[in-house]
Chains A and B, each alone.
Chain A
Amino acid sequence: MYRYDEFDHAFVSSRVEQFRDQVERRLNGELAEDAFKPLRLMNGVYLQLHAYMLRVAIPYGTLSSRQMRMLAHIARKYDRGYGHFTTRQNIQYNWPRLSDTPDILHELASVEMHALQTSGNCIRNVTADHFAGAAADEVADPRPYAEILRQWSSVHPEFSFLPRKFKIAVAGAERDRAAIQVHDIGLHLKKDENGRIGFAVYVGGGQGRTPMIAKKIRDFLPEEDLLSYTTAIMRVYNLHGRRDNKYKARIKILVHETGAEELSRQVEVEFAALKDTELKLPEGDIQAISTYFAPPALENRAEGWESLARWKKTDEDFARWVQQNVQPHKHPDYGMVTISLKPIGGIPGDATDAQMEAVADIAEEYAFDEIRVSHEQNLILPHVALADLEPIYRGLVAAGLATANAGLITDIIACPGLDYCALANARSIPVAQEISTRFGSAERQAEIGELKIKISGCINACGHHHVGHIGLLGVEKKGAELYQITLGGSGDENTSIGEIIGRGFEPEKVTDAVETIVDTYLGLRRDREETFLEAYRRVGPQPFKDALYGSAQEAA
């Protein structure tokens, strides 16, 4: 993984001192809250319902054990003993004191981490496929490009006061596990007919109150043009994105109102002028950054096949966990392990300091010191020998981290909702907990198969409900919480935005409604192989509407 050099250290420590000065000026009243706000936001500090919140960047979700231990230390020393992993591969602390934040950032800098640009109207943490460097279907590792973008976008003077926030995601495999089509810029690595590496470029995707699927504006952008082309997009957006209305300020609205063709033309004009400038990436630099992400030396461990089969036979729970949470690695003797942060009835994405340390220990001992955070709010060990799965599982069981539900109905994405968030209209966490508990039985989950439930507590859609197979959106109606259900969303290479199925449900009825939807699916699927999403795409919303609202009744 990437390691800071002297330049990076100098940058991050200067930045911490700069922020320390800003916090001091805020605390002594020299800096007003409205002028302080964009500065603190660019350093990851939010003001939430009950307290400040600090969002720490985990660039493209990649962590070492040392870094994970630091996250645990911060949870223990400055917070209430836990942290919340987010859909943008970051971690949030919900209870830090403002006056402590410079010290927290200082401690983070000691393990090559920061909270830079995890908020504010700037280029945010660049995200990538959590199986990068390990997946069998990978064209190229997306992380070197994400790292180059991370560096280039750090305190970019031209693009620090954009109309609105800006999110870039990079996928490197055929399967899109980074949801690139719902990002402001989505980059999909590919090779051209001559074997050169480049990107298909998507622009203007996003969720929020106006969900839109990104438009492809470039079939193939050679890798050396990454920064010049991105600069061209950013400049067109900075100059022409709407600033009159916060809710229409994302680039998706500019793309929509300008038209993808015209916007693409403007970007190409700007790009033509930038293409052969100092922004062009030398091959040597791409190589040098890529070297940091070289996969670990994976010895053949063929003995794992036999022992795995034996362990599975003697322990049904272990077998279920392997079945659900371990996926094939590009090396046949290895697997990619998903550590679920979705215990049955628990809070999606939360981990305690002790759990973080347990994962750090396991990764150090068995998994080449590499941990990932997935946008589905789980942790990943990307390189694990099959021969080591059993001891890893034992360690995870001891830490309460062995829930065998990756990709299943209880692997729910949820935003913090009204329990923490100043923007929320409704709670998300209790709804997730109740659904998780209702469907908690392992047999029942296995019977249902792959099903992604995503819950947002307000229209800003941090819980990605638009791309949930079943999406729940909390709204406020006449002072009470109500949950609107969408069906058929998906955030992969076949991205779709879920359709609203009808009038919303009260908190005490929403789990029943989800159960009705699931039972309807089980009743109409062709066979066990047909997933919920496939079935929905085949039959459409009607059978679900009928089941929820009665066939005679017109759903409002």
Chain B
Amino acid sequence: MTKIWKETGFVGDDPWIIETEETKAGSNEKAILGLDAFLAKVGEGDETGLGVVIAPADDVTKLAPHLDRLALVAVAFPAFNDGRAFSHASLLRARLGFGGEVRAVGDVLIDQIPLMLRCGVDSFAVSNATALKRLSEGRLPGIAVHYQPTAKAATDAKSYSWRRVS
């Protein structure tokens, strides 16, 4: 089963559901739309608080004019070794300045979560058993010293300009 995790812990009552042909959001749920459906929807009305999922081949910068309509952007890792969403999340935060929720969906594994966090992902749809276990035990395998600035703000390491600590 899939649980939503944030740095503050597991989220009990997450309303978001990724809409597909088969799956539609129920009355108590909020839809995460595909990029095309989202762009169509923002053209039709002025609804805010929307959710969108960016597939690996999508151009995330297409969201730029509509950020104020978005509450959540999901970035997709269809397989753990498809790293495009790391760039999508980085661009969302650092380039577009998106301040809402950025959620990793798909093949979200424990060893990748620290990297995703640093790229600006702040919520995780986790179904991998090991990841769920480790997260529930509070054992995240991250390293606290970093050799590069990234989308997630970190403390200056008081060393070379590229170094950070968290």
Q: Which residues of A contact B (CB under 8 A)?
A: 5, 7, 10-11, 14-15, 18, 21-22, 25, 30-31, 35, 38-39, 121, 148, 151-162, 227, 235, 238-239, 243, 273, 277-282, 285, 288-289
Contacts and interface: CB of A to CB of B under 8 A. Distances in A.
B69 interface: no
Contact of A238 (B84, B111, B145): B84
A21 B134 CA distance: 12
Nearest to B163: A7
Contacts of B103: none
Contacts of A18: 141, 143
A11 B147 CA distance: 9
Given A11-B145, A157-B115, A227-B148, 12 more contacts: A10-B145, A11-B147, A18-B143, A157-B118, A157-B148, A160-B86, A161-B80, A161-B112, A278-B162, A279-B162, A280-B161, A285-B160
B157 interface: yes
Given A18-B141, A121-B81, A158-B150, A7 B86 contact: no
Nearest to A158: B86
Contact of B82 (A22, A157, A161, A288): A161
Contact of B87 (A239, A285, A289): A239
B135 to A, nearest CB: 14
Interface of B: 56, 80-84, 86-88, 90-91, 94-95, 109, 111-112, 114-116, 118-119, 130, 141, 143-150, 157, 159-163
A285 B141 contact: no
A281 B161 contact: yes
Given A11-B143, A21-B141, A288 B83 contact: no
A555 B144 CA distance: 61
A157 B88 CA distance: 12
Contacts of A280: 161
A468 B134 CA distance: 50
**Among B86, B159, B163, residue most surrounded by chain A Cβ atoms (within 10 Å):** B86
A155 B143 contact: yes
Contacts of A148: 162
27 contacts: A10-B145, A11-B143, A18-B141, A30-B130, A31-B130, A121-B81, A148-B162, A151-B160, A153-B147, A153-B148, A154-B147, A155-B143, A155-B146, A158-B83, A158-B150, A161-B81, A161-B82, A227-B148, A227-B162, A235-B87, A235-B91, A238-B83, A273-B95, A277-B149, A281-B162, A285-B160, A285-B162
Given A227-B162, A239-B87, A35 B80 contact: yes
B162 A151 contact: yes
A525 to B, nearest CB: 51
Contacts of A281: 161-162
Contacts, number: 106
A289 B84 contact: no
Nearest to A32: B130
A160 B148 CA distance: 13
Contacts of B150: 157-158
Nearest to A19: B141
B101 to A, nearest CB: 19
Contacts of B114: 157
Contacts of A10: 144-145
Nearest to A273: B95
Contacts of B147: 11, 151-156
A151 B119 CA distance: 18
**Among A154, A278, A285, residue most surrounded by chain B Cβ atoms (within 10 Å):** A278
Contacts of A277: 94, 149
Sort A-B residue pairs by CB-CB distance and give the 9 closest, nearest first.
A161-B83, A157-B115, A157-B118, A14-B143, A158-B86, A151-B147, A278-B149, A11-B145, A154-B147
Contacts of B83: 121, 158-162, 238
Nearest to B165: A7
A121 B119 CA distance: 18
Contacts of B109: 35
A280 B84 CA distance: 24
A39 B148 CA distance: 20
A7 B159 contact: yes
A238 B118 CA distance: 17
Contacts of A273: 95
**Among B109, B149, B160, residue most surrounded by chain A Cβ atoms (within 10 Å):** B160
A11 B142 CA distance: 11
